[in-house]
Structure 1
Amino acid sequence: MNNTEYDKILLAVLKDGLSLKSVPEHLRTEEICEAAVRENGFALQYVPEHLRTEEICEAAVLQNGYALQDVPEHLCTKEICEAAVREDGFALQYVPEHLRTEEICEAAVLQNGYALQDVPEHLCTKEICEAAVREDGFALQYVPEHLRTEEICEAAVLQNGYALKFVPEHLRTKEICEAAVRKNGYGIKFVPELLRTKEICEAAMRKNGYALHDVPEHLRTKEICEAAVLQNGYALQFVPEHLRTKESSERESVGANAIDAPLPPPAEGLPQFAVPDAPHESEPLVAHVPYRPRWGTLTRRAEGYRPDPPVLGNANGLL
């Protein structure tokens, strides 16, 4: 192979590390492989075994912690595992059991609270659980029952109001429920009937109007319904017929067609990060879509996902 062809391959993996899959085995040099994993850590899966050195593996997990799954067992050192979970807390599932120390587990949940599900039971301390729910309130579902204290539950709903779903019934106090709906109006769904007061319902509507769906019929007053449709025009469908005024219908029309209209509520069981908060009127919806949404990480984990690499080729076909 001449230098021109080699340079083309190098340029290709520098642009997209996953194109390493299309590079013939005998051309996957150390330089090519290192360039690939520095661009995309997932490319480590295409690096020949004899080239998966400590340096290349470290470069891969620093770029994408999930690449830890392709690091040879003898290279899964404390340093590499820690680097992986600091980049992506979900990488904790690939950390060998004997290396899942309190320090590494804490680093993982601080990066992604959902990693709490992979923390060994004996390390699920109050401190680690609290760190997890402060990063992602939905991690409350993985907190052991005996550790779901009022303090931890409050921290969870303050981060994600929908986490009220996992708060024990006896801890769903007025204060915690109010904190939950002020953070995420959809949390009204998990507020005990006796606590669904006018004040709590109104607070929920001001945050997420579509949550009117879960407001008891006898509390769908003019004030609460108005607050709901002002926040989200789609909520009009849940307004009692006798309260549907011309003004509220006009609000629904605007809300249903505006590009910055809030999205419908999440399906039951989905965390709030799957549904962004309603953007401000002057902001485009795209501004609220995270560059690297966590939902992609969750889906990747659930389905054992590995991204499909692009096909590397030239005018004459594959290289």
Structure 2
Amino acid sequence: MERLCRFERTSEKCMTAVRQDGWELAHVPEEVKTPEMCRLALDNSADLAYENLELLHYVPFPDICLEYIKANNGCGDVELPEVLSALAPGVIDSRIADYAIEQDGRCLGVLPAHLQTVERAEKAVKEAGTEALAGEKVRAELKTEGLYRKCAEHSWMSFALLPKAERSPEICLLAAKLYPQETAKRPDLIPESVKNGCNVYSLCKMMEARTGEKFTYQQMTDFYNGKPLNVRRMEMPDGVQKDKAVKFDKEKQEFSFSAIRQERKRGLRM
């Protein structure tokens, strides 16, 4: 096929060549290729385990590529992001994108920019954690505080892999609550600015030390944002406050106390 002039590469000759050797597809003009010819080429390529992905680059039909990817997923040593990288430009469509993300979240960075949606990014992070956002080609606007928080929720290792600049006080507090043993062993993963600043992470450490209680992530984020928190006792520099509703003003960095409101229970008349 390579020795023939382009106008001599007819459909019949191309089909005959592909039957003999699937790699002849590389020399078939685009306008001559058909789904049947591409299936035949892949079947005759002896490449059912992704040992060589070059032939897949010459298949212009998304349906055929998706069939081949599904049939060979998990076979051989080549991982799915590399398989997607081998496809010809413009071949990856929404169906390939959805399947790839469900199988391996790291595929997010291989998708064309217009297919990197918020929904797919969330699915990618759910599957692969921080590794889903690590690719250089992942859209920058997808790398939000909320999505990095989902990375921390994925696993301890996913939190550990977060870029240092993305370990916000909220995310560090979440990790401390989800993985207390691991964060205790690796205090170096908490940035010094988080440990020493006035933020929800340091506030939680202070409140637990002064009250002797343990608080949830949601309790502390609500408290940091102004919602009163009922405590049995809390040690303060000027004495101990008992059975109080404490409120924190993050602007003034001050505590205020008030009596816990008692709700009256109304009896039912017989």
User: What TM-score, normalized to structure 2?
Assistant: 0.45
With normalisation by structure 1, the TM-score equals 0.39
- Would you tell me which structure has more helix in proportion to its own residues? 1
The answer to which structure, 1 or 2, has the higher relative contact order (CA under 8 A, 6+ apart) is: 1
